[in-house]
Amino acid sequence: MATSAGHTPSGPRSRQSLMTLRVYTTTRDGVVTQERAQIHVVAGDRFDLYGLTQAWPPCACPRHKGR
């Protein structure tokens, strides 16, 4: 099926990444010391919000240390 310039055929959309989240560990001066896993947000994906919150390192402040 031919389409005119600038138009796409109707139908199911291809899965494409809408956003990529990159998480870094840095020093207080902003120097990257570690790059953590990338998370790709894809159009139409259902995501596990609880699983995303588990990607962060545990809190190391004096109040929460040792819990």
In-domain check, residue 7 = no
In-domain check, residue 26 = yes
Question: pLDDT by residue (tens digit) across 49-66?
Answer: 666 566 667 777 888 776
pLDDT for position 31: 92
Lowest mean pLDDT among 29-38, 44-53, 54-63: 44-53
The whole domain housing 31 covers 17-52
In-domain check, residue 24 = yes
In-domain check, residue 57 = no
pTM above 0.75, yes or no: no
- The domain total for the chain is 1
In-domain check, residue 42 = yes
Q: H/E/C letters for each residue in the chain? A: CCCCCCCCCCCCCCCCEEEEECCEEECCCCCEEEECCCEEEECCCCCCHHHHHCCCCCCCCCCCCCC
In-domain check, residue 46 = yes
